Structure 1
Amino acid sequence: MAAARGNTSRRGFLAAGAAAAGAAGLGVAGAAAPPAEAATSGRRRVEYVLPTLTFDASAVQDELGTVYDSALTDVVGINTTYAVPATYDKAGLVSYPPGTLVRAGGGYPEPQRWTRDAAINAWSAVSLLGPSVGENTLWSVVDPGKGETGPVVQQDNQWWDQIVWAVGAWNHYLVTGDHDFLADAYGVASRTLALRKAQNLNASTGLFQGPGYMNDGIAGYPAPPWTSGIDSSFVLDYPHTDELMVLSTNCLYHGAHLALEGMATALGHHAAAAGYRKAAASLRSAIDRHLWREDAGTYGYFVHGGDAGKGHLDTSQEGAGLALAVLFGVADRRRTRLLLDGAHWQPHGIVNVWPHFERFSDDRPGRHNVMVWPMVHSMFGHAAARGGRTDLFARAVTELAALVKGTGGSFYELYHSVTGKVDGGWQTGGSGTLTHFDSQPDQAWSATGYLRLIHHGLFGLRPAADGLRIEPSLPKGWGDVRLRGLAYRDMTLDIELTGAGDRVHACVVDGRRARTASLPAHGGGHHTVRIALAGS
């Protein structure tokens, strides 16, 4: 992904309908914004239903609610783009209409066919807000396959993160209930996992090898071997980096196995589901055995592979790894509590990897080291909400909102963790010299990260095969808050939270007291859900 990312500043076209909605102020109370239209060949319609977020406290609305509107503008108005068939429809699965998808960001040259961005954006927000666009975004990074029996996730030079697609695809099914999509997605995900397992599973440790989930730059690792002739920022250009066994990557594979178990179960493939469940349990045990640090109450970053430090555990804190350990259930309740309690925060949030590696500093922070990537930070905030830490969740939301408001409502790729300013960080080449990178504007996964914090953190939306569970996390002092016009499958929901905390005291659906804060998967119509929270 980032290996192909240049630093050319190029904003994409504004989708006509979304531009109008943005100019008028996305999210007028009581009405969803109109669908956007992609201003390109054929002017394809994009089917989005955009909810409105309203805090009763005007100060909180100004601090957090306006940033929610900015996030919708980023995703719908700036980064929803035409899916050029020759580029984005390699497997013949993209739907025309709407013929659109969400790209990585406005600062990159086209094409932006990157698996990680596509899957994360669909998972974090797009599949919920615009199912047809989310589906196309996922299909846009699928190839027909060669020796395989069907399509697979594109086999590019960042093979270690391909399986994030399975997580995005399973989430897409959970929020849409689309069985036709599920059948195709299961084939793509299962074939892709089989390829990765055959090539990258280390039999002696039970862990998957490969660089860190987010860290495709060499700045995300301790001093690499400065081999003569190497002058590159890309991680795989350095010896033995393909043999690392990283927390985030292995947690991701655990989540992918669980996703495939869910897919197989939903499709009636029960023997296959049992196999994925068993493999997930085995991988979880391997992660705990090799990466958990009982003395420190947290996970280490990675185990060295074939280099001089073979078998050694690097004890750095990996923000994405800790977040995924919680979100995918790798960490049990005790370990979740410990790692959340002990996590290091910089002045402006959770960083990619802490602390600074020897060649970096606060003056010259490494691009994939002590920098705030909003996508990583928001995942950690989501994990904090899931782990019952409304205080840390509140911190994650307010700090990201402050970063965005500091740039006039724009979502950038990454920020300096001490100053809070837009900064792309420093990267190294073969000579050991440092080069400063730009932080790209209009970053889609930074915006969908904020939407994740609101939808899945604050309101606690947890889609499942049999329905929607609602497990909110409302920080003290935020007051009452409402999310109106949220589309979920065949329903439209208005959700209101009162009180504070993450313990549901009472839930009333359409005026009637409900035993649980949940809705069935196969309902229809418009429903009002009121949840009173009482402590943690």
Structure 2
Amino acid sequence: MRMLTYISVLFLAVLTVGCGGVSLPKEDIFSCEGFEIYPDSIVRGNRIYRAVSPREISNAWTLPDSTTVAPEFISTLPMADALFAKAVISPSFLTPEEIWLSLGFLRPEESMQALRSLAWLPENDNEDFPYSTLSPYWAAAAWEVYCATGSRTWLREAYDALTRMLSRQWKLNRSALSEFYCGIPRGVTEQSTFYPASMDEMSRFQTFSASVNIMRAYSLRIASRMAGELKLYAEREWEMEADKLAGAVNDCLWLPDLQRYGQYLYGDYYPIVSSVTDNEANLLAALTGTATPEMSAAMVGELPLIASGVPSVYPYVVNQTPLRPVVQALYGLSAAKVRNPRAFIHSMASVWNLSLDANYPSLWPSLVMKGLFGIETTPSGLEFRPMVPEVFGGEKQLRGLRYRDAVLDISLNGTGDRIASFMVDSVSTDSHSLPAGMKGHHKVVITLSGNDLNAKPLRIFEPVTVPPTPEVKWPTANDMKIVGHDRLLHYDIYLDGVMTQSISTDNYHVRPGECGVVTVVPTLERGSSGYATPPHVCLPDDEVISIHASSITPRRPPLHFIKDPATATNYIELAARHNTRITCYVNVAVEGDYFITVGYSNGSERCGIRTLGVNGVDVATLLFPPRRLNDWVHVYPSTTSVIHLNEGVNKLWLTYVGGTILFNKLTLLKRS
């Protein structure tokens, strides 16, 4: 590889001299097997992309002379300048994540309109399953637009839309006893890359994803900030809810040994943490303040990287998948926040390489403005916390940067992260900020002290996939057999969510005193864990309570769905026209928390939703998604909730919210 690098450099130097250009420096900024980064060039094998000017990259992109670039970025690295120009003039359908990264500042009016359109889209019949209604970046993007514009009209509109989204999503909480919210992250388009094949649609939906809950907590925090700006009493309430959820994420999903968050809590009854790393979730935790500064610094330094960038998850769930561009930018912004120059350069290289082939209008501009220049928008103005690695030495300029009623020319000199001098229109100031009320044209000159940014070398991981989920059979109620046992693996046995033993054999016996819910997790000796088997309930029949449809009256056999009367008598139709609320009673010997699941069928195209009430109080919402069109016979489990029951007789009911389902049975399991 090193010999190939030397040959590539020599070839490129000869080529550029022959074309009348300037030869490349001998040292690259970054190199890996797929590409090499130089100050004015990117090399992929024998193909060279050179920044001929800030308006042209050979073999990749040319900007017509008539096109105006605003703002402009000018630095000692020609490729950085050209890629910035390529980004800011790129057309884009503005997404909330792009708006949050940089377009809310660069294109505030367009961003406002895009967010407004998303907020008032018609609701889907199945919006509740398998996705939640709240776009994870919407609140952050809306706040960014408010800070960039100062529009009180937009602030009131955004607050109303956000509170409506948050309130509607509340019902996706599995129960009143859980702080977490379930749902599949919006960024997961190929579910096979994020979930094991052993998980069905319901199992995937019922995971407590780190990404979903980190951004839910941040959205609550944004609602608090908006309420504070509007002088509303709800400010403190939103903040308390955000703190509660962020605390639960840190308590249950942080893995101290790995110095990062696990992917999600998963599995019915007693969820366990997936040790697979969702890199986007970890970076969001650092950027939104869910992680403490110490946790963030450790996480960014230890995040599993591959040579060409940051994988979405590590280890891979399936074979290697393409890098997600937004994750590369989040890595760079997190690196700037925790002052890790090596991580920032790794992010920069990946973003540059990806930006050659496609238009990403928010990525490199976000790393320039929020990373190198350290610009943070607030309701009261702009604050600056620059971080410049040595490779970006020399003067860097942002020219023609529009901010509300002002146009700014900002110069950043030197390296490091300590500001030695901050001058506005030739006047020195100690505030390192600009007020929101500035008008007209202003010049800002920032000089850094050149202090050393200490950072440990990054660890580059080899691409690997998780160990396969074992197939497990139970010949008897208490005896487990692992089919296709792998001698290279250990198998961790979890009982009621707690690892009790690690075995290397192909069988396991659950002693009577250990009865509960059993799952098995495959683990390699070097510590890479796979996904757990579906939970197996290993309990005596008298400890599982079932209430069948045939025992509930009044009832209406659904003969228009199931023609066979003998079969139809095992179901009760719950619909908008009748049985909008059914009630049953359950007698338990011991007061405590119980898992509750409803067996149902749904052959429609719409997700069924019912609130669950216990002893006079609505405590949870159960979802009954469609499984197979026109199939009203096969019974599937609803979402699982946790409820509290008193000793003796308890009254339970299901109340109609939406969708038609056939009720088959209700199952209760005592929580240990």
Is 1:502 the equivalent of 2:465?
Answer: no
Provide the residue aligned with 1:483 in structure 2. 398
Provide the residue aligned with 1:355 in structure 2. 315
Is 1:159 the equivalent of 2:175?
Answer: no
| TM norm structure 2 | 0.55
- Work out which of the residue numbers 257, 271, 279 in structure 1 matches 2:241: 279
Provide the residue aligned with 1:454 in structure 2. 368
1: CA distance, partners of 2:225 / 2:199: 44
Aligned residue pairs total 388
Provide the residue aligned with 1:326 in structure 2. 286
| TM norm structure 1 | 0.68
- Work out which of the residue numbers 290, 293, 297 in structure 2 matches 1:337: 297
Could you tell me how far 1:24 is from its partner in structure 2?
2.0
Equivalent residues of 1:200, 1:210 under 8 A apart: no
* AA in 2 matched with 1:489: R
* AA in 2 matched with 1:182: L
* AA in 2 matched with 1:54: I
Is 1:61 the equivalent of 2:78?
Answer: yes
Change (3 A) 1:465 1:321: same
Could you tell me how far 1:70 is from its partner in structure 2?
1.4
1: CA distance, partners of 2:152 / 2:218: 21
1: CA distance, partners of 2:71 / 2:329: 20
Could you tell me how far 1:247 is from its partner in structure 2?
1.2
SS at match of 1:24: coil
- Work out which of the residue numbers 52, 63, 71 in structure 2 matches 1:51: 71
Change (3 A) 1:146 1:284: closer
- Residue by residue over 1:440-475, the C-alpha shift from the partner in whole angstroms, topping out at 9 and shown as x without a partner, is xx4xxx431222111111111100111110111111
Change (3 A) 1:201 1:512: farther
Provide the residue aligned with 2:520 in structure 1. none
- Work out which of the residue numbers 330, 339, 345 in structure 2 matches 1:388: 339
- Work out which of the residue numbers 179, 195, 208 in structure 2 matches 1:206: 179
SS at match of 2:391: coil
- Residue by residue over 1:102-143, the C-alpha shift from the partner in whole angstroms, topping out at 9 and shown as x without a partner, is 35xxxxxxxxxxxxxx21122222221222111111112122
Equivalent residues of 1:247, 1:321 under 8 A apart: yes
Equivalent residues of 2:398, 2:411 under 8 A apart: yes
- Residue by residue over 1:206-262, the C-alpha shift from the partner in whole angstroms, topping out at 9 and shown as x without a partner, is 1111123421321232422376xxxxxxxxxx2321111111111111111111111
1: CA distance, partners of 2:340 / 2:419: 15
Provide the residue aligned with 2:323 in structure 1. 372
Equivalent residues of 2:398, 2:410 under 8 A apart: yes
Alignment of 1:247-326 (within 5 A): 247-269=210-232, 271-306=233-268, 310-326=270-286
Is 1:190 the equivalent of 2:163?
Answer: yes
Change (3 A) 1:241 1:168: same
Could you tell me how far 1:183 is from its partner in structure 2?
0.7
SS at match of 1:181: helix
Deviating 4+ runs (over 4 angstroms): 144-147, 154-157
Equivalent residues of 2:351, 2:363 under 8 A apart: no
Is 1:24 the equivalent of 2:65?
Answer: yes
- Work out which of the residue numbers 414, 417, 427 in structure 2 matches 1:512: 427
Could you tell me how far 1:332 is from its partner in structure 2?
0.6
* AA in 2 matched with 1:398: A
Change (3 A) 1:528 1:226: closer
SS at match of 1:452: helix
Larger radius of gyration: 2
* AA in 2 matched with 1:388: R
1: CA distance, partners of 2:414 / 2:404: 28
Equivalent residues of 2:215, 2:284 under 8 A apart: yes
Provide the residue aligned with 2:357 in structure 1. 410
Equivalent residues of 1:25, 1:69 under 8 A apart: no
Task: Using CA pairs under 8 Å that are at least 6 residues apart, name the structure with larger relative contact order, 1 or 2.
Answer: 1
Could you tell me how far 1:73 is from its partner in structure 2?
2.8
SS at match of 2:202: coil
Provide the residue aligned with 1:47 in structure 2. none
Change (3 A) 1:379 1:455: same
Equivalent residues of 1:390, 1:501 under 8 A apart: no
* AA in 2 matched with 1:337: A
* Unmatched runs of 5 consecutive residues or more in structure 1: 1-19, 27-31, 34-49, 80-101, 104-117, 148-153, 228-237, 412-441
2: CA distance, partners of 1:226 / 1:332: 32
Which range is displaced more, 346-355 or 500-509? 500-509
* Unmatched runs of 5 consecutive residues or more in structure 2: 1-60, 454-672
Change (3 A) 1:203 1:341: farther
SS at match of 2:196: coil
Equivalent residues of 1:474, 1:497 under 8 A apart: no
Provide the residue aligned with 2:607 in structure 1. none
* AA in 2 matched with 1:257: L
2: CA distance, partners of 1:181 / 1:241: 36
Percent identity of paired positions between Structure 1 and Structure 2: 23
SS at match of 2:187: coil
Change (3 A) 1:273 1:226: closer
